[in-house]
């Protein structure tokens, strides 16, 4: 049984992959974020109001561990303008501080490793 799971959400598409180590899961998460950053940016969408690229999540990459009820979870949202928003938690997300992809991965590692 794998210890870690990486879930990638791109619009309605969801992909999941299992890993035996946190390092392997974080490497896969980094690859997904890198791939998203190489793609084009999202445009503005008009619904009841305008949603600019900075308001839209282009890809969400979640890394979760096994637990009795709910394991530790953290991840990175790639916004439509290319900004990275690392977070910890599943029900109550808490934004982590990071300016670069390396810092975001280390913040996620720190949260998951501390659990």
Query: One digit per residue, pLDDT tens: the chain, 115 residues?
Result: 679 999 999 999 999 999 999 999 999 999 999 999 999 899 999 989 999 999 999 999 999 998 777 889 999 999 999 999 999 998 899 999 999 999 999 999 999 986 5
Number of domains the chain is built from:
1
Range of the domain at 77: 4-39+57-114
- Residue 88 falls inside a structural domain: yes
Q: How many residues does the chain have?
A: 115
- Residue 51 falls inside a structural domain: no
- Residue 52 falls inside a structural domain: no
What pTM was estimated for this model as a whole? Answer: 0.91
Give the H/E segment covering residue 104: helix 101-114
Contact 58, 69 (CB under 8 A): no
- Residue 82 falls inside a structural domain: yes
- Residue 45 falls inside a structural domain: no
């Amino acid at each position: 049984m794998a210890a870690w799971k990486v879930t990638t959400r791109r619009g309605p598409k969801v992909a999941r992959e299992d890993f035996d180590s946190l390092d392997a899961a974080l490497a896969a998460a980094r690859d997904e974020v890198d791939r998203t950053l190489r793609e084009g940016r999202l445009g503005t969408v008009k619904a009841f109001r305008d949603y600019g690229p900075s308001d839209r999540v282009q890809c969400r990459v979640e890394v979760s561990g096994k637990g009795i009820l709910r394991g530790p979870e953290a991840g990175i949202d790639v916004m439509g303008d290319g900004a990275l928003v690392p977070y910890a938690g599943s029900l109550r997300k808490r934004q982590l501080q990071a300016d670069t992809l390396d810092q975001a991965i280390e913040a996620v590692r720190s949260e998951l490793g501390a659990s």
